[in-house]
Each structure stands twice: as C-alpha cells, then as structure tokens.
Amino acid sequence: MKTRLVLGEDNALLREGMRGLLSATDEVEVVAACSDLDSILESIDTLRPDVVLTDIRMPPTGTDEGVQVARHCRSRHPSTGVILLSQYVDPAYVRSLLESGSAGRGYLLKERVSDVEELIRAVTAVAAGGSVVDPQVIEHLVRTGVSRGNANVARLSPRELEVLAEMSRGRNNTAIAASLFIGQRAVEKHINSIFAKLGVGVGDESHPRVRAVLLYLSGSVS
C-alpha cells in the first residue's frame, strides 16, 4: 500500500517537480499539493494523509507555517507524520518540531529533495512513526556548540559524531552497527558515551534519544 502524502510548497516549479518525482515512485501517492497554510490544513483534515511533506515557510506570513502544520497534526491527527523542509538549519525550528515528541517527525534540508531514494526512505520512516533528521543538521548544531565554547559538545569523538548522525536518521543500534561496520556492543558503548558527555538521559527507545540529543544540541537543554 502506498504512503498517502500531502505536499506543501509555495514555489510552483518546485511543487510540481516534487509532485512528479514522488508520484513516479511505487511507494508514495501524492493526494494533494498545496501552496499555502490554509490549503494544507484543509487537505489534512479532509484527506487524512499518512505524511505531510511541507516547507517551513509558506504563505500567508512566510515564517513558521510548517511548524504550525506539525502542531495541528499533533493535536488533531496524531497518526499523521510531518516532515519539514528548510533551506538552512534553524535550531529554533528544530526545537519547535520536537518539543512535543519526535515520533513521526522529520527535518530535512531542501537539497535532499533531489535524492529521491533518500526522500522516500524519510517519508516511509516517518509514516511508520519514526523520526528522521538531516545529518547536516546534526553537523551544524555540533559546530555551533563548539564555536560557542560548549565543552561537552567539543568532547565528542569523530566516531561518536558518526553514531550521532546515524541516530539522527532514526536508526536503531542494529542498523547503526551495519552502517558503520562495527559491532552492536560498540554502538551501545558509543551511545552511552555520547549521553554521558552531553549530560542527557539514556532512553531505551531510539526516538526519545534522538529528541534528547537534538534538543540539547539546539540549545534547549542547559
């Protein structure tokens, strides 16, 4: 069964291009393509999609419409996943997206749109209740933490940063081990070290731990 998706993008060329790319796959059915906040919300309420893929900044204000969509879905359609697309990393948007939980949430940079396979994987994962965050978001937040003199972030080793990037994709320990060609026990060791260095609690589930790390890196945890 295809994942039913509502697309939100005010740029007509990009919107139609994304609709064409997604519709050409076997995994996704684009049930609506919208150009502003009101039409997105109406489509969500009427069509009850599995996932909403939307730009963060949309008419009418061009500020945080994507975040408003995520909040709307969380309160009225909790089973609907939301992926926000952005041209750049904004820690405030990351915090807003994840503040009520990371399950069924994604944050990708717009350049990922050209990688159809990567985009489809993200859509599928979020539709299943997973969380996906662009690895470049992690890299940016880490660099920002280091530049601001955050000693805890600066303590992360190169391997721990790789594990953190894999965690940001919502992958479990088994998938991380396979991706990095290391053992699961090594993954567990690195994750424990990451949490110890960052001072966040160790959770049993991958989604809460992604949220904890991202919230810390984006500056909401002191």
What are 97-109's pLDDT values in tens digits?
Answer: 877 777 899 999 9
Tell me the C-alpha to C-alpha distance, in Å, between residue 3 and each of 23, 103, 142.
Answer: 11, 17, 33
pLDDT digits (tens, 9 = 90+) for 154-173: 888 989 888 887 877 767 88
Number of domains the chain contains: 2
Q: Are residues 105 and 144 in the same domain?
A: no
Q: Are residues 38 and 147 in the same domain?
A: no
Residue 134 Cα to chain centre, angstroms: 6
Indicate the residue among 110, 132, 154 that finishes a domain: 132
Q: What is the dihedral of CA 114, 116, 121, 127, to 10 degrees?
A: 90
125 close to 170: Cβ distance less than 8 angstroms: yes
Residue 58 Cα to chain centre, angstroms: 18
Q: Are residues 115 and 24 in the same domain?
A: yes
Indicate the residue among 132, 159, 193 that finishes a domain: 132
222 domain residue, yes or no: no
| Closest among 106, 218, 91 to 168, alpha carbons compared | 106
Instruction: Look at the pTM and tell me if it is higher than 0.85.
Output: no
Whether the pLDDT of residue 180 is over 50: the answer is: yes
How far apart are the C-alpha atoms of 182 and 163, rounded to whole Å? Answer: 10
Residue located via tokens 């990037």: 165
217 close to 142: Cβ distance less than 8 angstroms: yes
Q: Are residues 106 and 123 in the same domain?
A: yes
Cis-peptide into 135, omega within 30 deg: no
pLDDT digits (tens, 9 = 90+) for 196-209: 888 776 554 455 56
23 domain residue, yes or no: yes
Q: Are residues 109 and 152 in the same domain?
A: no
Q: What is the span of the domain harbouring residue 144?
A: 136-217
